[in-house]
Structure 1
């Protein structure tokens, strides 16, 4: 008979072997499955809201089979203004649509649709609009929509490669500047003097990278809506903390185009001197509690090129300070101060980026804004003052480079009101 000690040893060996076999045959635990994305909670592609009027926190969203969640929104807004010293009649408008002393019109009859999740995304924005700007003639919304960026100003597709990288292409907002194209996106109703030097909407391809506090975008575009991909633009942004952001952005036309002999549409959307320029901006934004403060500096330059209709070089230097303070949930006061000047001696050269060689411009804008959920009402007063203009003469029928029907006025005051809803 086997001894008890021997039986005990055999039992131990059998138990050990069984444990090893069980371990070998054990099914590994399944990898954790990430929870599905919460429906209708994506970070939207656009439009960007840079002011007191905020994006809808609960945008309309519905699922579409095979695509995912589709978001829709829009802006229905109207405005009116009166101003001193409107500009003389100039093309491309008809006399009935010239720069007027007063006007009532819509500022946005726009809608947008977007897919903001997944590998393939898209953003489409269409409708009518006005982009009022200080220091330049302001035409009807119908004319602006037709001769600027058409009733489809923004439409692009986007490939989200991974969490950091994405590639997009189509008709896109520019990477340059601190103010966005449409009125509801900004602190003020009117765009400023520096905005006039920047391209607004362009065609092209854009590569984006974002990780941690850094975001970088580079693009090959057609600049000022020229239809020819010759511009290289880029933007670098660094988020110092939750309240402070600094960035640099700019672009350069690597080719040369004579934009002066184009159709009316391209003469209006594609100013010849600016289309052949280079531009550089430095931006800073502080946003915390009731405060938004955003100063920026701008430099532009265009080189002499008679083949492109540019017979003298010119540069501009400018700076702006935009700020807003929210007194309550429903009321805020915004303002903007700007100064810009063009190099050269007054009356010399033929290249005018501002109001002729040696000219300068100063502006101040004040915009109280009331908001009630998605509805807003705001008033605005803006004053522009020019220096170094060339004056015209009634005797020889020449126009000055300033305000007024003769171009000899150096100031313009504009009083404006805008109201409507965003959704």
Structure 2
């Protein structure tokens, strides 16, 4: 008995031989037997369909004149699996008749009378093809197994689309399978808490391995069906896979680390009572805004304010009430600011507003709105509280601190002028050097 050449992948291989003519069947069976673990014989279309229903073959050899319709069987097999090796046998006229009426991509024609040597070589090529395909499938199954065992969410992306998602990712998305993901018409963008990249998340991820700066990339994801739950923050890693536009996306949940980082930043940058910027952060922001104003030749102003008679509030009502006034005042100030404005606590009861893009009358109008926001509504347990304001603009070539000094001088005039008012600086250009 001739030794089976096999596919080398370790799996049992099957070939369907759909042939009714006795001699041809014997010749083909003798060539197929040594190369496959099982040769399933069918003498008609009905028998072939029954055999295929019991298990899809790895390869098929179909007679063009098979009783019941060889053409119909070949078409059905090709539609079911475009990559399966498919041989069509018969006379030249029979084969051409089938190929003239059907589109059978990749079909191999075997014309009678058979050339045993050429046919054996063609069968060997098909066996190698089956082995390569099944080896690739084995490797793919192994990759999916390792991904499913990984505790971190991961997905394989190809050409801007999701090819596979592991169990950890599916659990996060509240899905049972990749099929459910596909059936619901979902994409990874559905789970982004922020606007997606312009080219799409999958295409963006596949570009990350080319980032020469090796920057840190993060994504905030949430489940659209659970909008009440906060988004999770994930550290993104992308690894290029063999093939064009194919990569492995891996996500590490750093939500707790991100919260800790933000808390540390808050401790470093914010006043713990009012949640306004502290003085250290104010110095940094003021320097950045002054540099930006110089670069783009745009205006920049500051508003310095101080609560009127704040010591009396503390002495009369206690420091706890005084703290509550500071918190409420900061909230009222924030509500009256533009999106680009920044609020800082400058001292005990002093606050600074950094206002880019405005000077002169615009800064004065902003301060006047803030003055009304503070004084027009009573504070709980205290009554009416007012504040005095000083406004100054940045002068190119001067240090940002000079602007604060001029605002402080204007604030001093507002205090001496009766309090609860806004004063502008005195001609800052005269102070320029």
- Of Structure 1 and Structure 2, the greater strand share is in 1
Q: Which has the higher helix share?
A: 2
Tell me, yes or no, whether TM beats 0.5: no
Q: Which has the higher contact order (CA 8 A, sep 6+)?
A: 1
Larger radius of gyration: 2
**TM-score tier after normalising by the smaller chain length:** under 0.3
Using the size of structure 1 for normalisation, the TM-score is 0.26
